[in-house]
Homo-oligomer: A and B are copies of this chain.
Amino acid sequence: MMIPAVAPGAARFRLGELAERFALTLIGRPDPIITGVNSLLAATPGEIAFLANPRYRKQLADTAAGAVVIGHQQTRPETGCYLLSDQPYVDFARIASLFEQRPLAVVGIHPSAVIDASAEIAASASIGPLCNIGPRVRIAAGVAIGPGCSIGPDCTIDAHCRLLARVTLVERCRLGQRVLIHPGAVLGAEGFGLAMDHGQWRKVPQLGGVCIGDDCEIGANTCIDRGALGDTTLEADVHLDNLIQVGHNVQIGAHTAIAGCTAIAGSARIGRHCLIGGGAGIIGHIEIADGVVVGAMSLVTHSLREAGEYCSGTPIQPKREWAKNAARFRQLDRIARQLKPKEPKDS
């Protein structure tokens, strides 16, 4: 069903060509043939490496890379070949994409797929093996649905979306253009809406949907529940890593990226250009402003109204030391009170 776009190693460029193509300043000779990219330590003379994280700077001295994409201001060994860049990671990504062999989806519907008679599927779309496409689903041009996906009632998938294997859209999900969804993700499941009624839980109907903007990316096994009333919404260019929980009616602003294992409770509103660290938690019904950065495993318990970095938690320590300090945390208020007489304005 899937065939490679190009044979491995087929892409070849002269170094000078690459410099010109991406408007980079070449330090060194333009002749070498480049056939791939790699890390500083693993790159061969036929490969391009990069330096963006200063943590790896000392690897510059030892690299055998044909050239290194590097910032203009970055100190570098005299010898060696460089592509100077204003944004080395971005330019490396551009170069790397020349060598990416993305499996091509075969246009058409695999005979093992089960398609509801009311579904509308563009002729240029690809529906992989063992997919199930439900009633009133609409799939636009150039969409690729990988093996084992299940698309439930009333979902719409706009042009050039790619759903990899075993993705589930439960119902009423609307995807913009070029949305990328990794395996095992579940969009549009019922939100966790419960009302306690004389000692028993009563489920609150979840009548809304999920609306995903253009160019969003949803990680493997990540879950986005559908809204209770109205939609759970991601604006354009939102990137969610793996194993993230997005509750019902959450709204996430454009260009926000969220790292793995983060949990976002219902009706939270996250701004644009935010970065949320891995394993973080965001409680329900709060607002996070544009440009907020939340540290890994921090818990956001109230609205954050100004851009900036926020953290919670305590530093990791050897257990013996940690245990003593943690025990004192239990007494912290009492400890602070002892100090009060000295600084009464603190009380």
Contact = CB atoms under 8 A, between A and B. Distances in A.
B229 A42 contact: yes
A316 B328 contact: no
Contacts of A302: 316
A55 interface: yes
Contacts of A300: 316
Contact of A335 (B37, B110, B328): B328
A274 B125 CA distance: 47
A23 to B, nearest CB: 13
Nearest to A317: B330
A281 B297 contact: yes
A200 interface: yes
Contact of A299 (B273, B279, B328): B279
Contacts of A38: 229-230
B171 A168 contact: no
A182 interface: yes
Contacts of A134: 1-2, 103, 147
Interface in A74-89: 87, 89
Contacts of A294: 316
A219 B192 contact: yes
A97 B205 contact: yes
Interface size class of A (residues with CB under 8 A): 35 or more
Interface in A217-268: 217, 219-221, 223, 225, 229-230, 237, 239, 241-243, 245, 247, 255, 257, 259-263, 265
A338 interface: yes
A279 B263 contact: yes
A336 B328 contact: yes
A241 B245 contact: yes
A204 B328 contact: no
A123 interface: no
Contacts of A289: none
A114 B94 CA distance: 35
Question: Considering residues A147, A220, A279, which has the most beta carbons from chain B within 10 angstroms of its beta carbon?
Answer: A220
Contacts of A313: 299, 312-314, 326
A230 to B, nearest CB: 6
Contact of A1 (B114, B128, B147): B114
A120 interface: no
A215 B200 CA distance: 10
A203 B93 contact: yes
A169 to B, nearest CB: 9
Interface in A94-132: 94, 96-97, 99-100, 103, 110, 112, 114, 116, 128-130, 132
B202 A93 contact: yes
15 contacts: A36-B207, A94-B202, A99-B207, A103-B153, A103-B171, A114-B130, A130-B130, A182-B186, A182-B189, A183-B186, A243-B243, A301-B316, A312-B322, A328-B333, A338-B343
List the 5 shortest-distance A-B pairs measured between CB atoms, nearest first: A309-B319, A132-B147, A324-B333, A245-B260, A261-B263
